[in-house]
Structure 1
């Protein structure tokens, strides 16, 4: 069971770095690329694995570079409108963001040998491509009912293990004082929850007695949690993945085209997650004073990293009208640095009169706030999945063509290590259990209305690499996800679809302009916190996700010059 594995493993790891290990969802987030490239590439759904002749093909099948019969410089600009819509237990919320992007710039050099057979020419290429945009924001809210994040945090603390003793956590292990900083030796999740007043314990010397502070004692002296009246979450993501490609290709007798690419990749990503719950008025006196029981759980994170990878590809031209392609895209080997901070705060009316061990009886507004260290960072390594691309294209006379690509990405091969290269065994185990190979089908077509003017259409469809047991089901199994640090919120992908159209116009034999419009649809589940499951597979806390739909409309303009 996941929780037992995680907590037992944490007991063997000392130091603050181990308290903030990366999770499987982080590995997945940074292993994805968008459908990005030149306007022609976009308008045909990215189906260029067998066609080549476009700089965007350098990062998928570099053999396409050998199709060029001239040198070229090209650049692409785009404008994107990102709309998000959430539905959380029947309550819908919308948000919108518009971004201007500089997507790529590239140079291709063609060097003919003068031969009619054998090696006919050599091609080199240098390009910058923005392959992933993280920019979006969304809001979600629900009404009453369901579990509170404080229920999850209390249960998590009760299952926790003190890494210094191997025993269950107590309040004394988590309580921050002038002489003791628990963030240096304990997991940050229960530490922040306890010091922020979201959870407490009856007896600080006894393990397993944590409970939510949002509740009351009944007539029998039992502590009963309050019901959540409403919950809200706001998430803002920013950043991108940029790739720098250095490619080399050759043309053999106009029948075989062989290419290779070496890439350097940069990641820049930041996120803000603000979550709060409202429990309403505790009693008539609280309502008279307009004091609502509330909690806040806010997380901030920024990440940067650098990686390297390589691609190999071949295109065969058995007949004049048919091209077949195959390419291998290696994993990207990243070194990451992630900075974190978080805040937690609880407002609880008359709480101190209802418990034996008050948190801070002198606090006049009956609230408590805690923050993690602001200068904390962790370093780790990530290996993304590798990919195989199988392609075919048909050239229909002088005016039309159709192309198809099918990509297979093995997400089970994602791999996490600490900064020294030691495996994060528990998280890598979760990756193998919770992910699978994903397929993406790309289709594109082009028709030249005149020798100068072309119209294009395409699409791409990607199924989710997340195993079905990870997706929410009211009647099916419930799977727990282990959070990284204090970040409890995460998303689970369902599918991603693209629909594309475009135009191209050649003003002169050398200068051309392409325009593309891409409509991207993505569906996800958003969990404000994970489910909590004990070692007997009993569901202690169930988290009900919101449905998130992200629809992006992108218009791209490419300018190219051949010489």
Structure 2
């Protein structure tokens, strides 16, 4: 059975991750995830650690610093497919889990149309170039896979899903008692996970001595006042996909081979998909297992603009600047949450070897997110014809991230995510060596921690090679290793419970190829 509901408070309060004060708050984590960028672009710029503010003449300039289009002396096109291979590690309840995966995309392609201002012979404006590109600035590809066993303590199985789903039926004085089924239904419907647990008999109805009803776990033992479950094995796989892609329309111009300026319109498309598969297997004679499968889709679109300039004071030095405005993204979100239970014996119904299924489709009212502005400065020094060294310093104002809604998406409580975030400085450095038509590159990028109360840094190293032929054909290949810690989270912990956190880290290898030609 499928049920369409709107319970946005459920999403904020009982999602498996980021809902405890000991972990990154849910909306804060999303604001950072959607604000971070790794630059993307061509294999050449990725091989340089993403440093691109003071360089030009590359298809990546369309999205990074449009002033770089002024370096083009011919029209050009390029396409960049990428293969990602991930190694994922997690720790939970003393268990270490290792997982691998792969992902293939074409995150960058574009073209540049260059023209010279020959009709203005007396002008120092030499040329201009128009660029159009699709560029994935951030990939959400990631995986978390964990498993562990939680055991009963003096308060019962406090860390499993059933106990968490039971919380709305409890009060400060113990179990709430009900006189009618309608009263029970009202409480069950107040929380999506409680509703699913109740419909699939993880929560069952028991009679009291006062001819009222209370709701407790399926394995409640009224004679001993305890649970028959002694332990529960938990395992979950979490996959995230897609990313933030921009359609960039840019123009850059060359003034006297000294000053290069440009501007771009950045149309942002957000596509975030998370798929979670959770299974809990208790140690008892009633329930064989319960499965909870969730798919969350967040899509959105917004716009920003980028302004840039590059100055060449002497032949061996470029200095660059770029500014990207805040991006206002209108977002839509849908959750599909399905639960299945399989009972050896159901004590409430008396049925044996029976399964129950229930599903909720939760359509969240639209809301908006303001992504922070970014300011970058960079410099490149050239070593004659043998190559160059380049570096960028990027400022990201994460503290200015803001959610908003005009139709009640946050149930009247808009999360103030900026209070949990810092402004950061990211560093990107790279070097390129040249010998005839051959190129070799190395790069490093460090992304500062955006959180005030949590220490989560990212970094990447890269290396690549390329060939630039005299007829304008070029091909570049780059390997980049991105390493980062994922925010800690807990498996279904309510506000008055605590459990061992799931800690995980990801190492993602990117193999990027760029093929293009100057016309």
Is TM (by shorter chain) over 0.5?
Answer: yes
Equivalent of 1:30 in 34, 42, 45 = 34
Match of 1:332 in 2: 327
Kindly report which structure 2 residues correspond to 1:76-475, keeping only aligned pairs within 5 A, or say none. Answer: 76-114=80-118, 118-145=124-151, 147-155=159-167, 158=170, 175-176=184-185, 186-199=190-203, 212-217=217-222, 219=224, 222-223=225-226, 226-281=229-284, 286=285, 292=287, 294-346=289-341, 352=347, 360-365=348-353, 368-372=356-360, 374=361, 376=363, 378-418=365-405, 420=407, 426-429=413-416, 431-448=417-434, 450-468=435-453, 470=454
Q: Which runs of 5+ in 1 are unaligned?
A: 1-14, 161-167, 353-359, 472-493, 534-539
SS at match of 2:278: strand
Match of 1:71 in 2: 75
1:231 deviation in Å?
Answer: 0.9
SS at match of 1:543: coil
**Inter-CA distance 210–318: structure 2 relative to 1 (3 Å threshold):** farther
SS at match of 1:532: coil
Equivalent of 2:54 in 50, 55, 58 = 50
Match of 1:59 in 2: 63
SS at match of 1:426: coil
Deviations 1:143-162 (A, max 9, x none): 333722333333366489xx
Equivalent of 1:555 in 511, 515, 518 = 511
Tell me, yes or no, if the aligned pair for 2:160 and 2:492 is still in contact at 8 Å. Answer: no
Tell me, yes or no, if the aligned pair for 1:418 and 1:424 is still in contact at 8 Å. Answer: no
Tell me, yes or no, if the aligned pair for 1:411 and 1:436 is still in contact at 8 Å. Answer: yes
Match of 2:6 in 1: 16
**Inter-CA distance 514–196: structure 2 relative to 1 (3 Å threshold):** same
Residue 502 of structure 1 pairs with residue 492 of structure 2: no
1:35 deviation in Å?
Answer: 4.2
**Inter-CA distance 544–443: structure 2 relative to 1 (3 Å threshold):** same
SS at match of 1:143: strand
Equivalent of 2:501 in 523, 533, 545 = 545
Match of 2:479 in 1: 517
SS at match of 1:144: strand
**Inter-CA distance 365–422: structure 2 relative to 1 (3 Å threshold):** closer
Deviations 1:68-106 (A, max 9, x none): 222211111222212222222332222222232212221
Deviations 1:271-310 (A, max 9, x none): 22111222212xxxx3xxxx55543332122233222221
Q: Which runs of 5+ in 2 are unaligned?
A: 13-25, 152-157
SS at match of 2:231: coil
Tell me, yes or no, if the aligned pair for 2:485 and 2:506 is still in contact at 8 Å. Answer: yes
Tell me, yes or no, if the aligned pair for 1:268 and 1:303 is still in contact at 8 Å. Answer: yes
Deviations 1:530-559 (A, max 9, x none): 6533xxxxxx21132222222222222211
Instruction: Give the TM-score of the pair, scaled to structure 2.
Output: 0.83
Q: Distance in 2 between the 1:182 and 1:154 partners? A: 9
Deviations 1:371-392 (A, max 9, x none): 21x4745432222222111212
Segment drifting more, 75-84 vs 451-460: 75-84
Tell me, yes or no, if the aligned pair for 1:333 and 1:382 is still in contact at 8 Å. Answer: yes
* Structure in which a larger fraction of residues adopt strand: 2
